[in-house]
Amino acid sequence: MTQPDYTCITGGTVYDPANGIDGQVRDLWIADGRIVAAPSDRAVRPNREIDARGLVVMPGGIDMHCHIAGPKVNVARKMRPEEKRKAAPLHRTELLRSGTMGSVPSTFATGYKYAGLGYTTAFDAAIPPLGARHAHEEFADTPCLDKGIFVLVGNNHYVMQSLRKKEPQKLKAFLAWLLGATKGFAPKLVNPGGVEVWKSRQNGNVEGLDSIVDNFGITPRQILRGVAQATNELGLPHAVHIHCNQLGMPGNWSTTLDTMQALEGFRGHLTHIQFHSYGGGDADENTFNSKVAKLAEYVNAHPNITVDVGQVLFGETTSMTGDGPVGYYLSKVYGGKWFSGDTEMEAGCGITPIKYKNKSLVHALQLAIGLEWYLLVDDPWRVAMSTDHPNGGSFLAYPQIIRLLMDRTYRQDVLKACPPQVRERSTLYDLKREYTLNEIAIITRAGPARMLGLKNKGHLGPGADADITVYTPHDNKETMFELPRLVIKAGRVIVEQGEVRDPVDGKTLHVTPDYDRAIETDIRSWFEQYYSIGWRNYPVDFDYLHAAENVPTI
């Protein structure tokens, strides 16, 4: 019997929170793209040995909420020629394709840059089902990452129709069918019901969970409950992923709290929660303040809820969201160019450039509110790092966030450049907590993997995908995390000291839950009545996916 082709990473200081390893010096054995137990026969030598003595070893990073592929991301790329003109281009080499940067990098550049930071998995958070094919095609050109998509269902006509007709079985079957047809990973709610109202009338939106949605006569609360329940019954690995109503509006914290309560114990993930934590009222920015303390208190007491932060950082970026009215609102406030999309039957989107300024009280508060979330949620397993790239800032800023969390002095320095009223309107100045490396490993790796239900990711135990990042320790944690020493994907070294050496293609993670096939007839008849494309042209088949892994239901 031939010996497996072993690689061993020796002597590294390992952070594997999922397996209780907090900075222990250990060896890691890899074979066939997975982490394996050390061979019982001590005489066995690995074919490749990587000396990691003095280096920090973690699972590869997981970005569980970003916007990196699909129709709206591509429109945003086209909308930012002035950024792309000024950013340093990625030149084509023997090994690497060319690319452009700015706040919305092109596909190949996205893969290379994420890998350059030690990230090996990323999920695009908002794809309209009709755009799934487009997203997968872009994913085929996004190397180095395992990836997946969350599919927009919160303003889907069949979903809302099923709720109106009180047919939860149809809703459940539809979600399952849809995830299979789109090769998606999880259902996504974006301003449930609100985007439908926006598409139906001028300046339309919903105010709260009990507003009535035009054309269907149902409420956002019903959409939330219906999809949460269906997600649960289908045993989907990731909870329903929720972008609450009223994003960005002063006083929206109460809608966020309502949403958490409306889950009534079902698993739910509230995304970019920073944008949903605002006190104040009547859209009056003069009263804008932080309500993180109250919301975090609820999250701490309710283990069914997980969040990712959606950190805002100062600088120029592009906002892009399935929440159509938000794009319009921001473009009115800032006077920027604006794109609005209406995806038939399914969703909407809004895109506009945005510049977060340290001199703006509102922006400085947004930055503070994001940091408060990390520091006030007690259990790091239930709060994931994100910037909602690129909405709050680029993923390239993750190392800066890590430094802000681990170094209170740096945090204070950044706050000093902000308007003094931030001190009164948020609690950030008083928060002394500093994150440990172990906690960073949780919020950027182990926690997202657990939240997503990915058993083979985010940890370094036997059976895990061999996605590993090796860092050179540094007192300045931003420096440490922005240039990994090595990045390993499926057991292969893909990045070495910032240089991409082996741009492997990753796999697409998707789910195919079972459903009652009989209901397909109903879905099909609805589809053929309203859609502008043919039924057989809608589902994405496996040809579009370079490699795929079907993640089993629970």
Partner 1 sequence: MPLKLSYFGDTSVPVEVEGLTPDWACDKSPAEIERFEIFEGNRKRPLAEMFRVSGSATDRCFEWEGNLAGVHWIGAGMQTGEMHVHGPVGRHVGSGLRGGAIQIHGDAGDWAGAELHGGLLHIHGSAAQMVGAAYRGAPKGMTGGMILVDGDAGDEVGAAMRRGLIAVGGSAGDLVGFNMIAGTVLVFGDCGIRAGANMRRGTVGLFGAARPTLLPTFRFATTIRPHVVNVLLRTVAAQGVKFDQRLLEEEFDIYHGDAVSVGRGELLLRQVEVAV
If one asks whether residue 82 binds partner 1 (CB under 8 A), the answer comes out as yes
Q: Do 481 and 398 touch, CB atoms closer than 8 A?
A: yes
When the beta carbons of 83 and 196 are compared against partner 1, the nearer one is 83
Instruction: Please report how close the Cβ of residue 89 comes to partner 1 at its closest, in angstroms.
Output: 13
Write the binding mask 323 to 342 for partner 1: x where contact by CB under 8 A, - elsewhere.
Answer: -------------xx-----
Question: Pairing between strand 284-290 and 339-343?
Answer: unpaired
| Interacting span for partner 1 (CB under 8 A) from 31-39, 74-82, 162-170, 247-255 | 74-82
Distance CA 551, CA 410 (A): 40
> Residue 81: phi, psi to the nearest 5?
-60, -30
User: Which three-class secondary structure string do you get for 283-315?
Assistant: CEEEEEEECHHHHHHHHHHCCCEEEECCCCCCE
Of positions 65, 67, 80, 459, contacts partner 1 by CB under 8 A: 80
Distance CA 128, CA 125 (A): 10
When the beta carbons of 245 and 352 are compared against partner 1, the nearer one is 352
Instruction: Please report how close the Cβ of residue 315 comes to partner 1 at its closest, in angstroms.
Output: 15
Of positions 148, 341, 353, 506, contacts partner 1 by CB under 8 A: 353
Instruction: Please report how close the Cβ of residue 106 comes to partner 1 at its closest, in angstroms.
Output: 15
When the beta carbons of 82 and 499 are compared against partner 1, the nearer one is 82
**Angle at Cα 377 formed by Cα 372 and Cα 381, nearest 5°?**
125
Distance CA 23, CA 467 (A): 18
| Interacting span for partner 1 (CB under 8 A) from 80-88, 156-164, 408-416, 487-495 | 80-88
Instruction: Please report how close the Cβ of residue 52 comes to partner 1 at its closest, in angstroms.
Output: 39
| Among candidate residues 135, 250, 262, 136, the one with its CA nearest the CA of residue 192 | 262
Instruction: Please report how close the Cβ of residue 434 comes to partner 1 at its closest, in angstroms.
Output: 39
| Interacting span for partner 1 (CB under 8 A) from 11-19, 78-86, 259-267, 535-543 | 78-86
| Interacting span for partner 1 (CB under 8 A) from 75-83, 257-265, 419-427, 524-532 | 75-83
| Interacting span for partner 1 (CB under 8 A) from 73-81, 132-140, 155-163, 399-407 | 73-81
If one asks whether residue 194 binds partner 1 (CB under 8 A), the answer comes out as no
If one asks whether residue 539 binds partner 1 (CB under 8 A), the answer comes out as no
Distance CA 263, CA 242 (A): 11
Distance CA 525, CA 432 (A): 59
When the beta carbons of 79 and 257 are compared against partner 1, the nearer one is 79
The crossing angle, in degrees rounded to 10, of helices 361-376 and 398-406 is: 70
Q: Do 283 and 249 touch, CB atoms closer than 8 A?
A: yes
Helix (H, G, I), strand (E, B) or coil at 553: coil
SS3 content of the chain, % helix, strand, coil (to 5): 40, 25, 40
Q: What six digits make up the tokens of 92?
A: 């084509």
When the beta carbons of 337 and 474 are compared against partner 1, the nearer one is 337
Write the binding mask 84 to 123 for partner 1: x where contact by CB under 8 A, - elsewhere.
Answer: -x--------------------------------------
Q: Which residues bind partner 1 (CB under 8 A)?
A: 79-82, 85, 336-337, 353
